[in-house]
Amino acid sequence: MNRRHPTLLAATLLPVLLQPACTETTEAATAPSCCATLEAGTDHTTPLPGDSAWQLDSPWQDQDGRDRRLADFRGEVTVAAMVFTHCVYACPRLVADMQELAARLGTPQPRYLLVSMDHERDDPATLRAFAARHHLDPAHWTLLHGDAPQVREFAAVLGVNFRRAPNGDYAHSNQLAVLDRDGRIVHRQHGLQADPTATLQVLADLLEN
């Protein structure tokens, strides 16, 4: 089912009836590349594909306070999630799910990208402390801080819904996205402690190429 087709808008309101699976893999994962002459991720001078999330060109800061653009991640297979570091329930478990992927993948590893939805409290220093607390290896993990509009935009691309509660915490959907070396979202894993089998398979395939 192509849930983006407008005539199916009404149907998307009742997804629980129509899409019981907890993971989904988009066509891009299996469709042949339109640019078959170029090996994905090897030529950074060619324009990004039209469906690449790395086209978002807002400036971010990583946990070390360095200026980063999403296009920096071109060439790497990426697992992305949105979190906020004050979260006491879901976010640590979402990070644990990503660490579980890391443990089961071995070498090579993808890039693990955590984008904070809490633009007010999650400055680079706070993100660095969170990374240390959770033993996130900086060689593979990048945490990003951005302003409110670009965070909202990134969430829209990833398909993550969130809202700020009056107490400053965030309610948000729990989701991991897998992006190929050109930043195309090829797979999503919904929910906490979901069965990672499909996600691991997608990652293994992407990392082979």
Residues that bind another protein (CB under 8 A): 4-10, 12-16, 19-20, 22, 50-53, 55, 87, 89-91, 149, 152-153, 155-157, 159-163, 165-167, 169-175, 190-194
Q: Which is nearer to another protein, 7 or 42 (CB)?
A: 7
Pairing label, strands 175-179, 185-190: antiparallel
Q: Which is nearer to another protein, 8 or 132 (CB)?
A: 8
CB of 67 to another protein, least distance (A): 20
CB of 98 to another protein, least distance (A): 15
Cα 149 to Cα 84: distance, rounded to the nearest angstrom: 16
CB of 96 to another protein, least distance (A): 13
32-184-3-1 Cα dihedral, nearest 10 degrees: 30
Beta carbons of 101 and 187 less than 8 angstroms apart: no
Q: Which is nearer to another protein, 112 or 170 (CB)?
A: 170
The two structure tokens encoding residue 205: 């395939």
CB of 14 to another protein, least distance (A): 7
Q: Burial, 11: exposed, middle or buried (Cβ in 10 Å; 0-12, 13-18, 19+)? A: middle
Amino acid at 106: G
CB of 127 to another protein, least distance (A): 18
With both helix axes pointing from N to C terminus, report the angle between 197-208 and 90-105 in degrees, rounded to the nearest 10. Answer: 50
* Among 184, 179, 182, 183, CA closest to 199: 179
Q: Which is nearer to another protein, 179 or 202 (CB)?
A: 179
CB of 184 to another protein, least distance (A): 9
Q: Which is nearer to another protein, 161 or 209 (CB)?
A: 161
Beta carbons of 44 and 54 less than 8 angstroms apart: no
Q: Which is nearer to another protein, 16 or 139 (CB)?
A: 16
Cα 203 to Cα 101: distance, rounded to the nearest angstrom: 9
